[in-house]
Structure 1
Amino acid sequence: MNASLIEILDKFLVVIWPMLRLSAFLAFTSIFSIRAVNMRIRVLLGFSMAFLVSQQLDIPRIDPLSADGLVEIFRQILIGLTMGLVSQVASAAMVVAGQAVSGSMGLSIANMMDPNMGNVPVISQFFNILGTLVFLGMGGHLIVFGLVLESFQLIPIGQPFFSQDMLGKMINWSAMMFLGALLIALPVMMTLLFINIGLGFVARAAPSLNIFTVGFPALILTGFVILIFSMGNNVARIQWVWAQAFLVLRSFLGAS
């Protein structure tokens, strides 16, 4: 009986190390941390993948109650957190783009409460849903899970991960939040900028004219029209942002 309990405990310790990394990734990543993927699904998915990894790789036996074990726990959570933050930056680009478009159209007051992103404009919600559909349509979930499983070979359990070079890569990647947002929101923002310039000339030429009565409906209507016609380009740009996220995630793992 004691021998069987020791074997069960030994197998549990083998599974717990990859599960820490996978659980942290599923908890912090942007796609799998939404409310539609509840906690039970994430726990079951993390345990299933951890069991699969434990059967294919040689997991070192580390006592989680020792000093080395506590360091390894924080290290595995940090690896999963870093991989999750890569996708969070890509999703934040969609939210920032929606905020820029909403500000240009005058829809900043039309906000929705997003449990993941907070109080964000409706256009940000639209871009966030569009980004999720593009992510799933290009097979991003399969690519991400493949990279996460490959991370156990590129960064074995017990190997140091975080370094100054890794911090520099993360800071450089965070700039994609603004670059991707600019690329997505640029058609609408540039069109509305020229409309605002025209409205400024009209207001200057006819000061008695109430330009706000004409300007706000024109900006909203034009913004939606440009948003519809630029949808194909926006999908391509969102796909490019996700492709860059996959490349950065692979570079973080040290792959060539």
Structure 2
Amino acid sequence: MNLALIDILDKFLVVIWPMLRLSAFLAFTSIFSIRAVNMRIRILLAFSMAFVVTQQIDIPRIDPLTAEGLMEISRQILIGLTMGLVFQVASAALVVAGQAASASMGLTIANMIDPNMGNVPVLSAFFNIMGTLIFLGMGGHLIVFGLVLESFKLLPIGQEFFSQDMLGKMIHWSAMMFLGALLIALPVMMTLLFINVGLGFVARAAPSLNIFTVGFPALILTGFVILIMSMGNNVARIQWIWAQSFLMLRSYLGE
């Protein structure tokens, strides 16, 4: 009985280290942290992937109740959170793009309560759903799982991983939140800017004309037309954002 208990405890100590990194990653990655993927599913995914990891690499025996163990717990959670941050930035680009387009179209008051993102503009929710479907359609979930499993070979458990180069890469990557948003929302923003300038000239030339009653519906209608016309390009841009996130994660892992 005691031997069986010791054996179970030994296997648990082997699985717990990769599971810490995987759990932190799944909890912080936007695609897997939505409410549709509840806590039970995340735990099952983390445990299943951790079991696969233990069959492929040798996990060092580290006592979690020692100072070394506590440091390793913090290290594995930090690695998982940092890897998840890569995809959080990509998802944030879609939200910012929706906010920028909504502001240009005058739809900032048209918000919805999203269970995952909170109070966001309707266009942000639309771009987020669109981005999730594109991510799954391009096999992003399989690429991500492969990279996460590969991380245990490139960033082994029990070794230091942090460096100034990694910190610089993450700071540089955060700019993608604004670059990606600009690529998606720029057609709408530029078109509506020219329309606003034109309406300004009309209002200056004919002060008695109520431009607001004409201009506001025109901005909304034109914005939706531009969104529909640029939908194909937006799909390509969102695919590019996800592809850059995969490359960033590979760079972070040192590939």
TM-score normalised over the length of structure 1 = 0.98
For residues 22-66 of structure 1, give each alpha carbon's deviation from its aligned partner in whole angstroms, at most 9, with x where no partner exists: 000000001000011111110101101101111111000000000
Measured in 2, the distance between the counterparts of 1:120 and 1:85 equals 20
The match for 2:118 is 118
Separation (CA, whole Å) in 2 of partners of 1:187 and 1:86:
26
Tell me the number of residue pairs that the alignment of Structure 1 and Structure 2 aligns.
255
Opposite residue 80 of structure 1, the aligned amino acid is: G
Opposite residue 173 of structure 2, the aligned amino acid is W
1:105 alignment partner in structure 2 = 105
Separation in 1 of the partners of 2:160 and 2:142?
A: 26
Which residue pairs with 2:43 in the alignment?
Answer: 43
- Residues 228-247 of structure 1: matches in 2 within 5 Å? 228-247=228-247
Question: Counterpart amino acid of 1:164?
Answer: Q
**Matched residue SS, 1:62:** coil
How far the C-alpha of 1:119 sits from its partner, in A, is 1.5
Instruction: Look up the SS of the partner of 1:120 in the other structure.
Output: strand
Distance 1:112 1:26 in 2: 25
Q: How far apart, in 1, do the equivalents of 2:173 and 2:194 lie?
A: 31
Deviation at 1:118, TM superposition (A): 2.6
Within-5 A mapping of 1:31-180: 31-180=31-180
Give the Cα separation in 1 of the matches to 2:194 and 2:249: 38
Distance in structure 2 (CA, Å) of the matches to 1:253 and 1:113? 36
In the TM superposition, what is the alpha-carbon distance from 1:13 to its structure 2 partner? 0.3
Deviates more, 1:113-122 or 1:189-198: 113-122
**In structure 2, distance between residues paired with 1:140 and 1:224:** 29
Equivalence for 1:5: 5
CA–CA separation in structure 2 for the residues paired with 1:74 and 1:56: 23
Partner in structure 1 of residue 194 of structure 2: 194
1:210 aligns to what? 210
Shift of 1:115: 3.3
Alpha-carbon distance in structure 2 between the residues aligned to 1:24 and 1:55: 21
State the AA in 2 paired with 1:221.
Answer: L
Equivalent position of 2:181 in the other structure? 181
Please state whether the residue corresponding to 1:37 is helix, strand or coil. coil
Give, as a single letter, the amino acid of the residue that structure 2 aligns with 1:79: I
| DSSP 3-state at the match of 1:160 | coil
Q: Tell me the CA shift for residue 183 of structure 1.
A: 0.2
Quick one: which amino acid aligns to residue 172 of structure 1? Answer: H
The match for 1:30 is 30
Code of the residue aligned with 1:37 in structure 2: it is V
Q: Percent identity?
A: 87
Q: Which residue of structure 1 lines up, in the alignment, with residue 251 of structure 2?
A: 251
Partner of 1:222: 222
How far does residue 124 in structure 1 lie from its aligned partner after superposition?
A: 0.3
Aligned residue type for 1:74: S
Stretches (4+) displaced over 4 A: none
**How far is the alpha carbon of 1:174 from its aligned partner?**
0.2
Higher mean alpha-carbon deviation, 227-236 vs 155-164, is at 155-164
Name the SS of the counterpart of 2:119 in structure 1.
Answer: strand
Cα distance between partner residues in 2 of 1:4 and 1:252? 40
CA distance in 2, matches of 1:159, 1:213: 65
Cα distance in 2 between the residues matched to 1:225 and 1:72: 53
Q: Distance in 1 between matches of 2:94 and 2:100?
A: 10
Give the superposed CA RMSD. Answer: 0.7
Distance 1:79 1:117 in 2: 24
Task: Tell me the amino acid that sits aligned with residue 207 of structure 1.
Answer: P
**What's the TM-score, normalizing by structure 2?**
0.99
Aligned to 2:120, what secondary structure does the other structure show? strand
